[in-house]
Amino acid sequence: MSEENTNEAGAGHNSGDDDGVAKLPESTLNVAGERLRSFIERYERLDEEKQTLMEDMKEVLSEAKGEGLDVKTIRQIIKIRKMDAADRQESESILECYMAALGLI
């Protein structure tokens, strides 16, 4: 080994006081930190709104159940209503085919 390569272990482009993090100007870090905080806070607010909506949806289904309606069937209808016509028709055809194969219809 040559003398050039015998310097202390670990010396190289990551040696010294550098902890491996690029040194950015303080103003850049402040702006990036503020932007990051903004994204996180927006996400947290949306998550809170989502939880509130989920509770409201649960309450609607509880009301329906209280009036004697079947919640499982309501959920199934909601799922079907979200489908476009072609997907719904295909799903119904496959279901009918499977039921016929099992002798259910």
| pTM given for the model | 0.59
CA distance 59 to 65: 10
pLDDT at 14: 52
Instruction: Identify the band that residue 54 occupies on the pLDDT scale cut at 50, 70 and 90.
Output: very high
Q: Residue 24: how many CA atoms within 13 Å on its side-chain side?
A: 10
CA distance 19 to 99: 65
The beta strands (E) that lie in the chain are given as: none
Instruction: Identify the band that residue 19 occupies on the pLDDT scale cut at 50, 70 and 90.
Output: low
pLDDT at 25: 77
